């Protein structure tokens, strides 16, 4: 049995070891060293060049290396009839929860301003409202958004979420669809984007959205870079309407050295590390799905290709 592996991060040996530990008869071929493409049964991939996946005639299953699948579905030639899964895993969720809590707390407690004050040796205590009076809003209430919302609720924040369908989560206000979008935005002081990238969500973090947030709001984007219209963010920060932003994902990654975001004192940048797939955990999921496919069953965490996430 042969699995094709492609990642942007150079940890192929680690992945191979974890996969072979679970499926000893699995041969792992690291892209682009794939040999005869007709031999390949499965693919575990991230950011494959467009057109490539259509050139493997005998694939039985494709697995995304991450939770997001935009890196695959933006390929017009992607074979849509083959079972395709993404990562849904408590460890990946935990890491995202940590990121969201860390950066919501940074904004809530003015950490960015204190960092700037420290650089200038300024001792100036800034008022922080009680968590219960701080309104956090989560765009995208799926695996990652809902868990992050619950973690923030449990810290005492006033939390709401926005998604396509209504959610029933204790103590978290649910807004759904276009008709409830504005109502969600006007109440949100710290906005966290955990949406998947689809045609409907591309460029969603734009000047119209920023204008609906209350003055002084902050934005955290851990979804995808293409959610954000970068020049609109810079404008909203420069005008003072938005106070700060934390960005983990960018339209082009790595962020270019001459990108204006690096110079913006009220933008905190992290290098797409909000969460990450642990090879041992994902190898478990891949092994389970291979067993299910070989037995003729349905795979776990199947992507709804029509919906786009």
Please state the closest distance from residue 56 (CB atom) to ligand OXD, in A: 22
User: CB neighbours of 250 closer than 8 A, spacing ≥ 6?
Assistant: 225, 230, 259, 261, 272
Identified binder of ligand OXD from the candidate list 61, 66, 145, 279, rule CB under 6 A: 66
- Known catalytic residue: 224? yes
Do 289 and 300 meet the contact criterion of CB atoms below 8 Å apart?
Answer: yes
Cβ nearer to ligand OXD, comparing 276 with 287: 276
- By CB under 6 A, tell whether 2 contacts ligand OXD: no
* CA atoms of 215 and 77, how far apart (whole Å): 44
Q: 40 is in the binding site of which of ligand OXD, ligand NDP, none (Cβ under 5 to 8 A by kind)?
A: none
Q: 163 is in the binding site of which of ligand NDP, ligand OXD, none (Cβ under 5 to 8 A by kind)?
A: ligand NDP
Q: 196 is in the binding site of which of ligand NDP, ligand OXD, none (Cβ under 5 to 8 A by kind)?
A: ligand NDP
| Residue 207, φ and ψ in degrees, nearest 5 | -65, -30
Cβ nearer to ligand OXD, comparing 184 with 250: 250
Q: DSSP per residue over 56-84, as a string?
A: -TT--EEEESSS--HHHHT-TT--TTS-E
Catalytic member of 71, 109, 272, 281 = 272
Please state the closest distance from residue 164 (CB atom) to ligand OXD, in A: 19
Segment 129 to 158, residues that bind ligand OXD, using CB under 6 A: none
| Stretch of 21-29, 61-69, 73-81, 294-302 lying at the interface with ligand OXD (CB under 6 A) | 61-69
* CA atoms of 131 and 159, how far apart (whole Å): 10
Catalytic member of 108, 110, 224, 268 = 224
Do 108 and 127 meet the contact criterion of CB atoms below 8 Å apart?
Answer: no
Cβ nearer to ligand OXD, comparing 186 with 300: 300
Closest CA to 267 of 256, 259, 275: 259
- Known catalytic residue: 227? no
Segment 261 to 300, residues that bind ligand OXD, using CB under 6 A: 275-277
Closest CA to 282 of 77, 11, 54, 51: 11
Closest CA to 15 of 81, 84, 63, 82: 63
Check residue 305 and report its DSSP letter: T
Cβ nearer to ligand OXD, comparing 174 with 201: 201
- And the tokens for 237? 């920060």
Q: 142 is in the binding site of which of ligand NDP, ligand OXD, none (Cβ under 5 to 8 A by kind)?
A: ligand NDP
Interacting residues toward ligand NDP by CB under 6 A: 66-68, 96, 140-145, 162-165, 194-198, 200-201, 222-224, 248-249, 272, 274-275, 309
Closest CA to 289 of 67, 141, 68, 87: 87
Ramachandran region of residue 296, left (φ > 0), alpha (ψ -120 to 50) or beta? left
Cβ nearer to ligand NDP, comparing 64 with 110: 64
Which residues are known to be catalytic? 224, 272
Q: Which residues here bind ligand OXD, judged by CB under 6 A?
A: 66-68, 87, 275-277
């Amino acid at each position: 049995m042969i699995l094709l592996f492609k990642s942007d991060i150079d940890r192929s040996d680690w992945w191979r070891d974890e996969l072979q530990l679970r499926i000893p008869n699995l041969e792992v071929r690291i892209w682009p060293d794939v040999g005869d493409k007709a031999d390949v049964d499965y693919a575990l991939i991230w950011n494959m060049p467009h057109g490539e996946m259509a050139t493997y005639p005998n694939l039985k299953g494709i697995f995304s290396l991450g939770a997001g699948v935009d890196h695959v579905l933006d390929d017009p030639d992607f074979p849509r009839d083959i079972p395709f899964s993404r990562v849904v895993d408590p460890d990946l969720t935990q890491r995202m929860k940590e990121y969201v809590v860390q950066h919501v707390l940074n904004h809530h407690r003015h950490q960015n301003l204190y960092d700037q004050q420290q650089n200038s040796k300024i001792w100036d205590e800034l008022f922080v409202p009680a968590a219960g009076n701080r309104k956090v809003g989560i765009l995208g209430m799926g695996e990652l958004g809902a868990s992050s919302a619950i973690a923030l609720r449990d810290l005492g924040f006033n939390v709401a979420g926005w998604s396509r369908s209504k959610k029933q989560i204790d103590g978290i206000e649910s807004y759904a669809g276009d008709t409830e979008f504005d109502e969600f935005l006007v109440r949100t002081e710290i906005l966290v984007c955990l949406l998947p990238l689809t045609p409907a969500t591309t460029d969603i973090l734009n000047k119209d959205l920023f204008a609906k947030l209350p003055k002084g709001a902050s934005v955290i984007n851990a979804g995808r870079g293409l959610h954000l219209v970068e020049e609109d963010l810079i404008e909203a920060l420069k005008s003072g309407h938005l106070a700060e932003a934390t960005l983990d994902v960018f339209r082009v990654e790595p962020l270019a050295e001459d990108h204006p975001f690096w110079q913006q004192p009220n933008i905190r940048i992290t290098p797409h590390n909000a969460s990450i797939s642990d090879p041992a955990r994902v190898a478990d999921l891949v092994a389970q799905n291979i067993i299910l496919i070989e037995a003729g069953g349905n795979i776990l965490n199947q992507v709804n290709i029509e919906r786009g996430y």
